[in-house]
Amino acid sequence: MAEREETGWPSDWSERIAGKDCPMCRDLGKGDKEHAVHVYDGTVTEVHLARRTAVRGYCVVTWKGPHVADPTDLAPDDAARYWMDVLEVGRAVRAVYDPVKVNYLLLGNWVPHLHTHVVPRYLDDPAPGGPLSWERLVEVPPTPAEQLHREAEALRAAVSGPTSD
Ligand SMILES: [Zn+2]
């Protein structure tokens, strides 16, 4: 993979947008990853829990269909399924972690494969009342794997559990 440049988009950006050597496509269906443990598969997504996070419960929801860069690249039915999966993760995160707010980030400025960062926010998190920078979010020691797997189990239970209606 090309080195991150000081400013500007990576030199192979158009190839990345097209999915060439996409690391997220490559890792689909492979369970735990270097940076995250597998939680469950949604209808059209895979859900992972980040190993390094300043806020407990930070999940990444990844589109598991053929490579696309943005939600606008999806057909309407697939786009609806994608958002329903994202919302389901948001509900599970609220049920398990009781955050004061949940942030939904669609970035993909380095790996442009459709995914959404579901980031719970807390009263005492590193940037109360404002956006949490990437550095503050992930530049912390990894959570022990045992704890992450326990949390993944709780999230799965929240998703499959009874709804309020
Ligand atoms: Zn991809």
Model confidence over 108-133: pLDDT tens digits? 999 999 999 999 999 999 999 999 99
How many A from CA of 125 to the centre of ligand 1? 31
How many A from CA of 58 to the centre of ligand 1? 21
Quote the mean pLDDT of the chain: 94
How many A from CA of 68 to the centre of ligand 1? 6
Ion ligand 1: residues, CB < 5 A = 19, 22, 24-25, 67, 113
**CA–CA separation, 75 and 56 (whole Å):** 33
> What pTM does this model have?
0.92
Highest mean predicted confidence (pLDDT) among 4-13, 88-97, 155-164: 88-97
The pLDDT of residue 114 is 98
If you average pLDDT over residues 5-32, what whole number do you get?
A: 93
* Residues with Cβ within 8 Å of residue 119, at least 6 apart in sequence: 55, 58, 102, 103, 104, 105, 132, 137
The pLDDT of residue 2 is 54
The pLDDT of residue 7 is 77
The pLDDT of residue 4 is 58
How many A from CA of 19 to the centre of ligand 1? 5
Query: What 8-state DSSP symbol labels residue 30?
Result: -
